[in-house]
Amino acid sequence: MITHGKRATIGPALARLESVARSAGVELLFSDEELEKHGIADADGDVATADVAIVLGGDGTMLRALTRFLGFDVPVIGVNFGRVGFLASIRPTDLEAGVARVFAGDYTIVPLTTLELEVGTVRAAAVNDVVVLSATRGRMVELGWTIGGEDLGLQPCDGMICSTPSGSTAYNLSNGGPVLVRGLDGMAVTFIAAHSLHVRPLVVPRGLELSIRNETPDVRASVLVDGHSVAEIDGGAHAVVRLGDRRALLATLPEATFFRRYRDTFGS
């Protein structure tokens, strides 16, 4: 079980899920963080040995769970208690019926492409995106970028988004970047507020790494992984982003396909 950071957000949902688990004869495993958050007495079990992780929360909680279980072969399915909930496939009102189906094995596993980031000694994995942006509000940065060893010049901008297919419907979409359908093995590169009439997003395949250089001497650049700051780049320094070797495992109900979620979330 992985739940929203604010206990009140999910309300009585945890008790509802525990009731379904008891009826199905399923054992729920809780991390130390979840035990403390919900005031649950210490329980046996290692969450890394779970058959499936169930998330009660929004897309932020889903990202946290998908990252946590990278490399553990544990699929993650969500009950949406957030605003958009694009990664979650169960509505709060359908919790009992949806979770009962999950406990019966009625779900589909979708492997998600991830990104690997290197900044100096910092190494991180992203499920949604890596973003490099000006660390000074109101100041542009000049970012130099190289793909597969080929220099693509300098671009004055507020920043750059490097997005996985699953992350392409998030920050990348709101900046006019392309939507990449789940299953594609590529990375979308989209500039934020580029000071140019000609710059366009680019989709990069596996095997070509992207180097992003901060060419602004007096402005540092912040590096965010899935919305969390992990490093800063001084003038002259760089970050490297590539498609990762590990896949995050998203579980969905069979009918909650990418295109259905896309239509329901972003359609008119």
The residue among 5 and 90 whose pLDDT is bigger is 90
User: What is the set of active-site residues?
Assistant: 59
Residue 44 has pLDDT above 90, yes or no: no
At 43 the pLDDT is 65
pLDDT of residue 35: 83
Winning range, highest mean pLDDT, from 28-42, 46-60, 152-166: 152-166
What is residue 94's three-state secondary structure?
A: helix
User: In this structure, are strands 53-57 and 141-147 parallel, antiparallel, or unpaired?
Assistant: unpaired
Looking up tokens 């909930």 gives 85
What CATH number was assigned to the domain covering residues 114-245? 2.60.200.30
Confidence of residue 265 (pLDDT cuts 50, 70, 90): confident
Comma-separated ranges of CATH 3.40.50.10330 domains in the chain: 2-107+253-266
In tens, the pLDDT along 132-181 reads 999 998 899 999 999 999 999 999 999 999 999 999 999 999 999 999 99
Q: Which has the higher per-residue pLDDT, 197 or 109?
A: 109
The pLDDT assigned to 42 comes to 64
Q: How far apart, in Å, do the first and last CA atoms of the chain sit?
A: 34
As a whole-number percent, the residues of the chain with pLDDT over 70 amount to 98
Which ranges in the chain are annotated with CATH 2.60.200.30? 114-245
**pLDDT score of 110:** 96
Q: Which CATH class is domain 2-107+253-266?
A: alpha beta
pLDDT-based confidence at 83, cuts 50/70/90?
confident
- pLDDT over 90 percentage in the chain: 83
Instruction: Return the pLDDT at 264.
Output: 87
Q: pLDDT tens digits, residue range 246-260?
A: 999 999 999 999 999
Over range 110-122, report the average pLDDT: 97
Structure tokens at 9: 């957000």
Task: Report pTM.
Answer: 0.91
- Mean local confidence (pLDDT), 199-223: 96
In the chain, at which residue ranges do the beta strands (DSSP E only) sit?
A: 2-3, 53-57, 76-80, 108-119, 122-126, 129-134, 141-147, 150-157, 159-163, 186-192, 202-205, 210-214, 221-225, 228-233, 238-252
At residue 10, the 3 state secondary structure works out as helix
